[in-house]
Chain A
Amino acid sequence: MRIGDELAPLRIPITRTLIVSGAVATRDYQDVHHDAEAARAKGSPDIFMNILTTNGLVGRYLAEHFGPEAELRRVAIRLGAPNYPGDEMVLSGRIVSLAGDADGQTAVVEVTGANALGHHVTGQATVRLPRGADA
């Protein structure tokens, strides 16, 4: 692993089911995440993904890439264009810093999730990789 390495992208279809099941699994009952009529009344064209689901998908992307030995230490995300049903989000990542010590390595990864409207999510994550768990 080197600075500048790109993580393989992960394509996630944004289905109504994903948005609603993500909202419920994160105990977020804001109506804009499950009720299209209520979302429209608030100026949104449809229901949209909640930030806790986006955060979970970023966590999944990193876990799938770095494997079960890796420990996530920090995730900071910012939302932009909403994830509406029928869209697709492509998560991509790049190693922007890497520090090694006797016990392993600490990587900082820049993560972007793009959909048809632009960047749904941009952020940074810090991952601790114990010795012998090189991804």
Chain B
Amino acid sequence: MTDAEPAAGFYERIKAYEGQSAAVGGEGRDPVNSPMIRHWCEAMGHLLPVDGSAPPTMLQVWTMAGLSGHGDRSGPYDELLGALDAAGFDAVVATDCEQEYVRPLRPGDRIVFDAVIESVSPRKTTKLGIGHFITTRMDLRSGGEQVGTHRFRILKYAPAPRKAPGKRPRPVVNRDNAGFWNGVSRHELLIQRCTGCGTPRFPWLPGCNSCGGQAWDTVKASGSGTVYSYVVMHHPPFPAFEPPYAVALVELPEGVRMIANVTGVPYDKVRIGMPVELEFAVVDDELTLPVFRVREGV
């Protein structure tokens, strides 16, 4: 169903749950208690509160159903989740949590809660897949008094299929640039040079940008270079590339700059001015690419 258009009226049907109860008179499985507070503090690395109270950001824990299921949930919330499951939006991830703390919770507090479905979003396309955001608001009480509120947003989505890693794109080799790729296959980085005016050029072109001359020869790059500039690609992901990764503009002493990957450091450690050294990365049986490795000791 995930690639198909949703059934007509599907959004209207799920939007109708807005304003309906997600829980009425739900009761915490356990009263607020010291062992659960201590286990939570151990897991979080949180200091144990000296007065024995529960850390405030533990609020939602007291409402969790745990392994034994959601006995306290009211019909509409389960119906809404069921409708989304049936439509293929069967995965769930929490995206937002907004809590207000009225007073500290102490061992012995018995938490009772009501929750309402505040909103159901239209169909959204996310990195995880296509789905709908559902926002609920919960009021928590103990002994009849309000102790906190908890607004929670989840994304119910159809997981985007995981693609097999794609092949790195092939270069387009033609008469104008074949000499460059022949050089790469011999692990040589060749720069064109106009035999008329002596201006080096890169990438390979049929004529000189400086004088228009069409005659040229080549210079073999010494292999040293510096990072002139760079970007970090985060999105969108392309087959065969795993973001984030750095793409650098490398300046060569021969007088040209070229775009290449920088190796030897994580993407977030690439810096302008870094000295780099040419090497050749064998991508697969048919493709070798010039890349630049950050020099040792940098």
Contacts and interface: CB of A to CB of B under 8 A. Distances in A.
Contacts of A116: 244, 266, 268
Contacts of B95: 51, 78-79
B162 A28 contact: no
A51 B56 contact: no
Contact of A59 (B29, B57, B100): B57
Contacts of B234: 118
A58 interface: yes
B47 A63 contact: yes
Given A55-B60, A73-B101, A29 B159 contact: no
B46 A63 contact: yes
Interface residues of B, number: 44
A111 B92 CA distance: 25
Given A29-B67, A42-B159, A59 B46 contact: yes
B98 A29 contact: no
Contacts of A56: 40, 43-44, 46, 55, 57-58
Contact of A22 (B43, B67, B97, B98): B43
Given A30-B92, A58-B57, A64-B47, A76 B97 contact: yes
B289 to A, nearest CB: 24
Contacts of A68: 47, 49-50
Nearest to A128: B101
A18 interface: yes
B128 interface: yes
Interface string B207-244: 00000000000000000000000000010000000001
A21 interface: yes
B166 to A, nearest CB: 16
B94 A60 contact: no
A66 to B, nearest CB: 12
Interface in A33-73: 42-43, 50-53, 55-60, 63-64, 68, 71-73
Contacts of B58: 26, 56, 59
A117 interface: yes
Nearest to A55: B57
Interface string A60-101: 100110001001111111110000000000000000000000
Interface string A108-125: 000000001110000000
B145 interface: no
Contacts of B9: none
Contacts, number: 119
A2 interface: no
A86 B66 CA distance: 27
Contact of A26 (B50, B61, B159): B61
Given A43-B128, A59-B46, A68-B49, A52 B61 contact: yes
A72 B54 CA distance: 12
Interface string B16-29: 00000000000001
Contact of B44 (A29, A60, A74, A78): A60
Interface in A9-40: 12, 18, 21-22, 24-30, 32
Interface string B35-50: 0100110111111011
A57 B57 CA distance: 9
A76 B57 CA distance: 10
12 contacts: A22-B44, A25-B36, A25-B39, A29-B66, A53-B43, A55-B99, A58-B57, A63-B47, A75-B97, A76-B96, A79-B96, A116-B244
Given A27-B64, A72-B57, 13 more contacts: A30-B92, A43-B162, A51-B95, A52-B64, A53-B44, A57-B44, A57-B45, A59-B46, A60-B57, A71-B101, A72-B101, A73-B101, A79-B94
Closest 10 CB pairs of A and B: A59-B57, A43-B159, A27-B64, A25-B43, A51-B94, A76-B98, A21-B43, A60-B46, A56-B44, A72-B56
Interface of B: 29, 36, 39-40, 42-47, 49-50, 55-58, 60-61, 64-67, 91-101, 104, 128-129, 159-162, 234, 244, 266, 268
